[in-house]
Structure 1
Amino acid sequence: MNGLVMGIKGILSFLSAPLIGALSDVWGRKFFLLITVFFTCAPIPLMSINSWWFFAMISISGVFAVTFSVVFAYVADVTTVEDRSRAYGLVSATFAASLVISPALGAYLNDKYSEPLIVALATAIAVLDVFFILVAVPESLPEKVRPSSWGAPISWEQADPFAALRKVGLDHTILMQCVTVLLSYLPEAGQYSCIFVYLKLKMHFSSIDVSIFIAVVGILSILTQVILGDLMKALGAKRTIIIGLLFEMLQLLWYGFGSQMWMMWAAGILASLASITYPAISAFVSIHSNPDQQGVVQGMVTGMRGLCNGLGPAMFGVIFYVFHVDLNDDHNGGGSLGHSAVGSSSGMGSLDGAKFVRNETLHGGLGAGHHIIEDEYSQFMPGPPFVFGALMVICAIAVAAFIPEAPSDAIRRPSGLSVDVDYEYERGRKVAGPLSPLMHQDSAQL
């Protein structure tokens, strides 16, 4: 069920992200930031009410689960090109911090109190988040930049996600970045779906070990993304992306061929270093795009990630099956590769007796010849999906190597101007109009 829900949610995100991005380019960011956060958090209270309604709401929320694209477009509106990569790194670091804090806090509250209290607290925080956006977050897109404010009605061609795909396909730089995201994030999404169960069953991590592993990798990811801006300034955007992809390839190979616990810890450190890839790509795409297309291009990147979130776990499950590797618990027959990170960690304690098994069916009889033996592949390659994922990342590196380092003159904003100043500049005026409420007046100097 969980795998099906993630697949539906991923496909819906892929289709809706460019649409929401295009609409945010026309009608502003705040409204779409509000609805994306609302629908992302909407399934939370249903967790303790009805599981079927919860799964249904998660599937539907995939249409609006594209908060990152709106947030990154918002950041592009209120920052100059020089500050963009640093800002994207801070946004991603904040998200990573939430992933470190929330599981630990949830586990602590679950031990001390009850699950309904955790759901109630999460619901309250979600409501507070929506209220904060409604009251305290200003609109970032200047009114004069919105086509609707000067009488140009939005057309379906402008909002159609497939039309957005075709537009992006005309820009080879953005298209190559989207292909890079697809090839690199597909194995990453598959890895997220099973890595905690894999560590528990194959590498004999205890529940405490897994919790510490999550915390260490998360904290290192935060530190890495905080310095993203300095890395991009020192090395350049293209080199930073390639370095992140190299770290991702190495950590997948470590997961795939490693057979000792210390190797998994080394792979986790590499994974934290690889976390710079997505914010670096988002910053690169933003710098290479026109100021009135930030929502569309960020929506395309987020849509690719959504598609990978739906297909990645299925891909890993198929590869595990082809190599006769089963992560199910042989005591109760439960579990699957489609576990999310939350589902995997919460069900970790029931998987202690699980082993890798090979299903050898004799004479066509189902269930016959179920021998609990060590698979012949696991001696050399314990995690075949991770190795296959590393090969995909190598392809992503090859694509990224052909991406031009510098944006074209037709796209680059002169002197790294903000979106509203650039709007004035493109129309030949030398005096900037009213700035976005979050922009400092110094940015208006032409």
Structure 2
Amino acid sequence: MPKIYVKKPLAGLVIRNRAHKSSIFTSSGIGEPSVHHALIVIFLEFFAWGLLTMPIISTLNRTFPDHTFLMNGLVMGIKGILSFLSAPLIGALSDIWGRKFFLLVTVFFTCMPIPLMCINTWWFFALISISGAFAVTFSVVFAYVADVTTPEERSKAYGLASATFAASLVISPALGNALMDMYGDTLVVALSTAIAVLDVFFILVAVPESLSEKMRPASWGAPISWEQADPFLALRKVGTDKTVLMLCLTVLLSYLPEAGEYSCMFVYLKLKMGFNYVEVSIFIAVVGILSITVQVTLGSFMKVFGAKRTIIVGLALELIQLLWYGLGSQKWMMWSAGVVAALGSITYPAISAFVSLYASPESQGAVQGMITGMRGLCNGLGPAVFGVIFYLFNVDLNADHEAIMNNSHPTNVEKISMHVPGPPFVFGALCVFCAIVVAAFIPEGQQAVLEKKRASLDVQYEIETGHKLPSSLAPLIRSDSLAQL
């Protein structure tokens, strides 16, 4: 009896203490959960990385002078693949443990490599690759936004998140370059680290938990649905519907080169096209502002041309800018290609709008999941493919290599690289051309017709997962690869 009497109050104390700590963590914050909390988190994280845009280019070239583009592609490719694999699992766990905890985890691990840039550059790039397992802040932010908005407000909120991401890159590269010129890389890294720490502190102190206690299991040890955590689940269902198959092929063929392009564009402009750091900073700012403007006017454009035609127009603009990047050898050509690239940023919001307009409500989640999964896969494959093509065509050339080539007989591959400054961009243009051909065959029928076509998809999805998706996933917007390098 004494033993039982002693254990009961101790057990009760332990349980109450754990619940108390959990409630302190999840209920802390300033005000009610809102979109503004998520926007501040996004802005601070990518502003910190934006400051490092120019120092990273310089460090990358110093660390890998002979294979700059190849290593850039491999680093960003590994990071993208790890993000693709981990995003569904982190999303599923955030449904149990809450959004705030995973905002803290993703921001912390995404920004963790920053201080190492001044300590050990090899470890810096290695940690950038490994951090991809947690570099899915956007996924958690979209879940946070979905928690605090109604379906009618959600599209606007996602647009604000996209615009905030672009806004963080408008001034930060130029500011980082100016500080680097005046005070060196160390100050820029220190400032970027301080902003990252501020972001973590903001999440700890100011961000309230958005996921209601009623929506979460009673215990942190509650089981999760491993179907939700499987990154290949959506991809395996691509072939079950003809329209979905064509949409996913369009995304694969168009986003793979775009993901590769944005992983190496700034390095390419600096090391191959002769841009100085100031010009690269201005280039980023101009393209960012134009992209924001174009996406704001997307609704009016779609009302005039329709979703399918808007997709094709966006793909055509992407084709033009990739050819310009690949074949152009003058700075003005790069500037023109950047303007066209900004205009072509309508493609993926238009694809999302097509799905939301023509897919039945029950299949929205399944279709959006397939398209988002395809884009996640491209985030890993695109940079790696571009890096390998740069390497195969000997684009990674320093002055010594150029002198050797001038004194020897160039191979056929080297002759091609002389006339085509950016072979990966030409390869990307061919992929986008195929995407245009596929998109031209996407049916543009009424919603009722597509509902009938997708009936089998809905039934199969519900049988295999055991439940319906209650709402659509986040609409397609640009990935965060632009901010990482």
Q: Does the TM-score normalized on the shorter chain lie above 0.5?
A: yes
- RMSD (CA atoms): 4.1
- Does 2:111 align with 1:72? no
- 2-structure distance, mates of 1:233, 1:76: 26
Q: How far does residue 299 in structure 1 lie from its aligned partner after superposition? A: 7.1
Of 59, 80, 105, 2:175 maps to: 105
Specify the SS of the correspondent of 1:162: coil
- Does 2:329 align with 1:329? no
Match of 2:254 in 1: 184
Match of 1:385 in 2: 424
Percent identity for Structure 1 against Structure 2: 72
- 2-structure distance, mates of 1:23, 1:94: 26
Of 35, 41, 47, 2:117 maps to: 47
Encode CA deviations 1:19-43: one digit per residue, 9 max, x unaligned. 2233345554333333222221121
Match of 1:122 in 2: 192
Of 86, 89, 95, 2:159 maps to: 89
Q: How far does residue 252 in structure 1 lie from its aligned partner after superposition? A: 0.8
Q: How far does residue 107 in structure 1 lie from its aligned partner after superposition? A: 1.0
- 2-structure distance, mates of 1:172, 1:242: 18
- 2-structure distance, mates of 1:81, 1:175: 26
Match of 2:206 in 1: 136
> Which structure dedicates a bigger proportion of its chain to helix?
2
Q: How far does residue 233 in structure 1 lie from its aligned partner after superposition? A: 5.5
- Does 2:54 align with 1:15? no
- 2-structure distance, mates of 1:400, 1:94: 30
Q: How far does residue 268 in structure 1 lie from its aligned partner after superposition? A: 0.9
- 1-structure distance, mates of 2:354, 2:391: 37
Distance 1:158 1:313, change over 3 A: closer
Q: How far does residue 190 in structure 1 lie from its aligned partner after superposition? A: 2.4
Matched residue type, 1:30: K
- 1-structure distance, mates of 2:188, 2:284: 20
- Does 2:433 align with 1:394? yes
Specify the SS of the correspondent of 1:161: coil
Task: Give the TM-score of the pair, scaled to structure 2.
Answer: 0.65
Does the CA-based 8 Å contact 2:389-2:423 persist in structure 1?
A: yes
Does the CA-based 8 Å contact 2:73-2:388 persist in structure 1?
A: no
Specify the SS of the correspondent of 1:316: helix
Distance 1:152 1:325, change over 3 A: closer
Length, aligned pairs only: 380
- 1-structure distance, mates of 2:351, 2:95: 20
Matched residue type, 1:314: A
Encode CA deviations 1:361-406: one digit per residue, 9 max, x unaligned. xxxxxxx936699964467644332222112112233444426677
Q: How far does residue 95 in structure 1 lie from its aligned partner after superposition? A: 1.0
Q: How far does residue 15 in structure 1 lie from its aligned partner after superposition? A: 1.2
- Does 2:354 align with 1:315? no
- 2-structure distance, mates of 1:160, 1:315: 24
- 1-structure distance, mates of 2:421, 2:211: 50
Q: How far does residue 235 in structure 1 lie from its aligned partner after superposition? A: 4.8
Task: Give the TM-score of the pair, scaled to structure 1.
Answer: 0.70
Matches within 5 A, 1:1-400: 1-25=71-95, 27-146=97-216, 153-166=223-236, 176-200=246-270, 203-232=273-302, 235-281=305-351, 304-320=374-390, 322=392, 324-331=393-400, 369=408, 376-377=415-416, 381-400=420-439
Does the CA-based 8 Å contact 1:85-1:232 persist in structure 2?
A: no
- 2-structure distance, mates of 1:269, 1:167: 37
Encode CA deviations 1:164-183: one digit per residue, 9 max, x unaligned. 54466657666654443322
- 1-structure distance, mates of 2:276, 2:302: 38
